[in-house]
Amino acid sequence: MERREFYEREYHPKVTDPASRPEEHAFYPELKKFIGDFGLRDKKVLEVGSAAGQFQDTVPDYTGLDIAEGLKRFYHKPFFAIAEGSKYPFEDDVFDAIFSVSVFEHIPDIDNALRESLRVLKPGGVFLFKPAWQVRPWAAGGYVVRPYGDLGLLGKLVKFSLLWRKSVIFRSIFVFPRRFWRSIRFILSGGKMERLDFKKLKANYEKFWDPDSDACNSIDPHAAILWFRAHGCEVIGYPNLLKSFFVRTGHLIVRKRSGR
């Protein structure tokens, strides 16, 4: 099943309720604070990966962007559907702010999407960036939600192994050495990073087990911070490499520097 077809036929009908209020979404408090902190009520705002436009009324001047043309019926504000890996249909430096939640882990050409997001953001503009960080490689198999009885011997072993593989201590054994070498490479390169350092995953476009089963990227927030810094941005709250090294989950707020 093609990725676009998956989202048109399988994903959005299961997880999207256009009648639900934005206040009912877990992301809403973060978005509301973002809008208030940066005075965005009268600004031009883009949502990347906007689904059925649940947040389209959080600001008056809102634009939604997604890959599924069929979502347009849910919008009373501007909405654009784009092809995979294409340019966003906007001129440079158009939006005062961008926000995106649980989207970039699902974008195959993530570098293009990141570059395009910065391109259409005005100098001094802000980007609330919140993918699902560090999606696990077993997500596509639905091992977290499937019962043992639904699995073969190998699957049962994988599911059993999650008891320790999901622990913070176990994951730290792998995360921190990678962050250390990534930081060294960043320093030695003079602060350059052309491509985001992330792990490709095999997405499941046949069976929707949970919101991560169709993810094609596993992104470390540490890598994202370095990428944004390398592309002339300030990541608010992470002013140096040391603080970036210990970043956990949550959103990043990125400011595009003036004169970039």
Q: Tell me what pLDDT residue 117 has.
A: 98
Residue 103 domain-assigned (yes or no): yes
Residue 148 domain-assigned (yes or no): no
Q: For 197, left (φ over 0), alpha (ψ -120 to 50), or beta?
A: beta
**204 and 140 in contact (C-beta within 8 Å)?**
yes
Length of the chain as a residue count: 260
CATH number of the domain within which 50 lies: 3.40.50.150
Residue 150 domain-assigned (yes or no): no
Q: Which residues pair with 34 in a beta bridge?
A: none
Report which of 4, 3, 2, 1 is spatially closest to residue 71, judged by C-alpha positions. Answer: 4
Q: Tell me what pLDDT residue 46 has.
A: 98
Q: Tell me what pLDDT residue 12 has.
A: 62
Q: Tell me what pLDDT residue 209 has.
A: 87
Total structural domains in the chain? 1
Tokens of 199: 């792990």
Distances (CA, A) of 217 to 68, 104, 193: 19, 8, 17
Residue partners of 147: CB distance under 8 A and separation at least 6: none
Q: Which residues pair with 65 in a beta bridge?
A: 48, 80
Q: Tell me what pLDDT residue 259 has.
A: 60
Q: Tell me what pLDDT residue 13 has.
A: 58
Instruction: Look up the domain containing 124 and give its range.
Output: 3-135+167-256
CA 135, CA 138: separation in Å to the nearest integer? 9
Q: 68-74, long-range: CB within 8 Å, 24+ apart, which pairs?
A: 68/4, 68/7, 68/8, 68/12, 69/8, 70/8, 70/12, 71/12, 71/16, 74/16, 74/18
Residue pointed to by tokens 């350092």: 197
Residue 145 domain-assigned (yes or no): no
Q: Tell me what pLDDT residue 128 has.
A: 98
Residue 114 domain-assigned (yes or no): yes
CA 200, CA 128: separation in Å to the nearest integer? 23
Tokens of 130: 């919140």
Tokens of 30: 């973060």
What are the pLDDT tens digits along the chain (260 aa)? 477 777 766 656 555 665 578 888 889 999 999 999 999 999 999 999 998 899 999 999 999 999 988 889 889 999 999 988 899 999 999 999 999 999 999 999 999 999 999 999 999 999 999 999 999 999 999 999 999 999 999 999 999 999 888 888 888 899 999 999 999 999 999 999 999 999 999 999 888 888 899 999 999 999 999 999 999 999 999 999 999 999 988 999 999 997 64
Residue 157 domain-assigned (yes or no): no
Residue 158 domain-assigned (yes or no): no
Residue 131 domain-assigned (yes or no): yes
Tokens of 168: 């913070």
User: pTM for the complete prediction?
Assistant: 0.92
CA 85, CA 88: separation in Å to the nearest integer? 9
Tokens of 37: 């902190």
State how far Cα 18 lies from the chain centre. Answer: 21
Q: Tell me what pLDDT residue 215 has.
A: 93
